[in-house]
Amino acid sequence: MSALSTQDPELFAMVKAEEAYQKSTIRLIASENYVSKAVLEASGSVFANKYSEGYPGARYYQGQINCDAVERLAIERAKKLFGAEHVNVQPYSGSPANLAVYFAFCQPGDTILGLNLSHGGHLTHGSKVSLTGKWLNAVHYSLNPETGLLDYDEIRKLALEHRPKVLIAGHSAYPRQLDFAKFRAIADECGAILFVDMAHFAGLVAGGAHPNPVPYADVVTTTTHKTLRGPRGAMILCKEKHAKAIDKAVFPGLQGGPHNSTTAAIATALREALLPEFKTYAANTVKNAQVLAAALVKRGFNLVSGGTDNHLMLIDLNNKNVSGKVAAVALEKAGLVLNYNTVPGETRKASDPSGIRLGTPSVTSRGFGAAEMEKIAEWMDRTLQSVEDEAALLKINAEVSALCAKFPVPGLD
């Protein structure tokens, strides 16, 4: 970064500070990861100079021979990785990708059925604070209050009662695998489009550590970061019969030219996900999550559903007598970075809810294993016993930093 350091030393200092922060802390945010040096290089390539409204072979700008090749490469790799009939790699992020699905299949006022936000759903699944909850008639299903698991009988009952245009399977904070065959059967019975949002677990699907929704769903969206370990972007995968509707919804329906440097980085990340070692990464991500979950349960943490079989955990802190936000702030001071989160049956406001969410994608990319998961659980327990003890938090932070120094950071070291 010699040019940046010379031309904008103020910003360069911020970049270096973030590098140091990512190296010295344990990043447990379930939606974050470390990308490879190759993905970073593709993200900062000369494709940032290009504008490419349209699709390969049908652009509204000349000079697209290389941009077309890059986008086609990303599409073909995504098709191969997930077994998809059609792929659109242009959405800027997961939320616009989801909006494109609704735009393709719904009219204002149509009914959609998805997971309740406080039970692990996503804002774009019809939350009242989202455009999706204002534009569409959103109905929500919830987790079983006794088990913390999806209740497919309830989902079927609501689907038959409300006859949604779109049935949504997917989540941002549900720690279990989804039964896509059951969702498909419900969608068929009520005549709905089955839409799977696999943004969180796409990397696990790619690595064979989670069932693949593509054979069951009419349309699947995913971000390209999180467990997939790519840049901040998104993709839509769908049946060929929906290809025209999806492509028109993305462009010109919702956005202009794609971010070509991001498309290039997506292509590189998909190549990495096709390698045999990515399967090991995906399996280890789940294994680490399960070890960490068990270690937390042993220390009295109340995990929604009692554990996890994917990459994330949702913890209800009511029995710890500390709010999610207070806990998240204290944990950050201790060098453990995660986010506060609503939990099923939430009684507090969303800006200071009862829970926290954490995951293992980043720490697994860094090479952490079972021993480090046990240590993280110990540090979390100590932190929540010392949320107002600055000296204790700084002591844990020093221990965290010492451990981090032993593990190289992908893309940075």
The DSSP element (H or E) to which 2 belongs, if any, is helix 2-7
Catalytic residue, chosen from 19, 41, 51, 332, is: 51
Among 32, 53, 309, 374, the one annotated catalytic? 53
Residue 113 identity:
L
φ/ψ (deg, to 5) at 356: -135, 155
Spatial separation of the C-alpha atoms in residues 240 and 219, rounded to whole Å: 10
Written as one string, the DSSP assignment of 206-265 is: HTTSS---TTT-SEEEEESSGGG---S-EEEEE-GGGHHHHHHIIIIII-SS--HHHHHH
Maximum separation of any 2 CA atoms in the chain, in Å? 63
Q: Is 223 a catalytic residue?
A: yes
From 221, 223, 262, 383, active-site residue? 223
Would you put residue 146 in left (φ > 0), alpha (ψ -120 to 50) or beta?
alpha
Q: Which pairing describes strands 355-359 and 312-316: parallel, antiparallel, or unpaired?
A: antiparallel
Report the alpha-carbon angle 102-103-105, nearest 5: 65
Return the closest-CA partner of residue 55 out of 25, 6, 93, 88: 88
Q: Tell me if residue 383 is catalytic.
A: no
Is 51 assigned a catalytic role? yes
Distance, first Cα to last Cα, the chain: 15
Active site residue 226: yes
Q: Which of 50, 184, 226, 357 is catalytic?
A: 226
Residue 132 a catalytic site member: no
356 in helix, strand or coil? strand
Instruction: Indicate which residue of 72, 232, 248, 271 is catalytic.
Output: 232
Spatial separation of the C-alpha atoms in residues 373 and 18, rounded to whole Å: 24
Q: Is 53 a catalytic residue?
A: yes
Please list the active-site residues.
Answer: 51, 53, 197, 223, 226, 232
